[in-house]
């Protein structure tokens, strides 16, 4: 799950994205499936990732409805492509969102008669859900994994896939209920207290990205946008390093969160 400072897209842009997927659904209702797919794919991955929580949930619900219309016509490949287009390029960046997409991919493959592919996607989904659940959601993930495996072994394969989807959905919903505002305020305050950029005759802006894990540790710290001065970039990296470890992530948070953070040195 990714969090940015500043926060997600403004409501106006979020509504625009939601309107686009709604148009895609209308096209599918009219059986213009090619147009629906093209319209949906016009929503870039980055823009979808940056939606506010409220609109992320609406986006997923509308995606499910759109895929359902494809499935009614047995357009399995096209339905699969809708979910696959939402997967990150790098598996190491997968989150609870991707676990839910993989669970849907498993169900579509099963409906298409591709049982081996369904089982593979199902296993990947529940494994990812467990990995990204965070300690407070881990019991639910483990319980779901055991129940899904038991149902599959007993021959109740569709029920097993539905159980995995339910687990992925419940963990994701729980994570999205977490109020990160107090935590992020604390992180910002701590980093800025350790921000000591070199004096300059011009303003500097440095953008960083890093991961905070459950225990408050940090990894993959890097400069996204340089301040145009090596010493400023070094000072920004040092500000985060001096601030770690941060407090543990809030209860029911995922295993880790991605942070994009801006540090500015303004000359007046």
Query: Domain map of the chain by residue range?
Result: 7-176, 181-265
Domain 181-265, CATH among 2.40.50.140, 3.40.50.150, 3.30.1150.10, 2.60.60.20: 3.30.1150.10
CB 100 within 8 A of CB 138: no
Using 50, 70 and 90 to split pLDDT, how confident is the model at 267?
low
Per-residue burial over 19-44, b = 16 or more CB atoms within 10 Å of its CB, e = otherwise: ebbbebbebbeeeebeebbebbeebe
Pairing state between β 256-265 and 218-225: unpaired
Give the single-character DSSP code of 32. Answer: -
pLDDT of 228 over the 90 cut: no
Return the bridge partners of 207, or none.
Answer: 225, 262
Percent of the chain past pLDDT 90, that is, above it, reads 74
Per-residue pLDDT of 5-17, as tens digits, reads 444 566 788 888 8
Q: Which pLDDT value is given to residue 5?
A: 40
């Amino acid at each position: 799950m990714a969090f940015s400072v500043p926060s997600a897209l403004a409501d106006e842009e979020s509504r625009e994205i939601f309107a686009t997927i709604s148009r895609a659904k209308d096209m599918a209702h009219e059986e213009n499936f090619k147009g629906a797919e093209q319209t949906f794919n016009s929503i870039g991955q980055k823009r979808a990732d940056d939606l506010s929580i409220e609109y992320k949930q609406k986006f997923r619900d509308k995606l499910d409805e759109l895929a359902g219309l494809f499935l009614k016509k047995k357009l399995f490949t096209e339905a699969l492509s809708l979910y696959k287009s939402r997967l990150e390029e790098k598996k190491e960046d997968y989150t609870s969102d991707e676990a839910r997409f993989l669970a849907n991919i498993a169900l579509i493959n099963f409906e298409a008669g591709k049982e081996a592919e369904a089982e593979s996607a199902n296993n990947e989904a529940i494994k990812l859900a467990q990995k990204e659940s965070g300690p407070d959601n881990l019991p639910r993930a483990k319980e779901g994994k055991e129940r899904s495996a038991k149902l599959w072994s007993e021959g109740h394969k569709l029920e097993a896939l539905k159980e995995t989807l339910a687990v992925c959905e419940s963990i994701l919903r729980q994570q999205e209920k977490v109020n990160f505002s107090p935590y992020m305020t604390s992180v910002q305050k701590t980093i800025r207290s350790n921000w000591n950029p070199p004096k300059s005759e011009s303003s500097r802006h440095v953008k960083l990205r890093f991961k905070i894990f459950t225990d408050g540790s940090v990894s993959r710290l890097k400069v996204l946008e340089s301040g145009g001065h090596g010493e400023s970039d070094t000072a920004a990296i040092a500000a985060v390093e001096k601030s770690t470890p941060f407090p543990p992530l809030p209860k029911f948070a995922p295993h880790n969160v991605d942070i994009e953070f801006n540090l500015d040195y303004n000359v007046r």
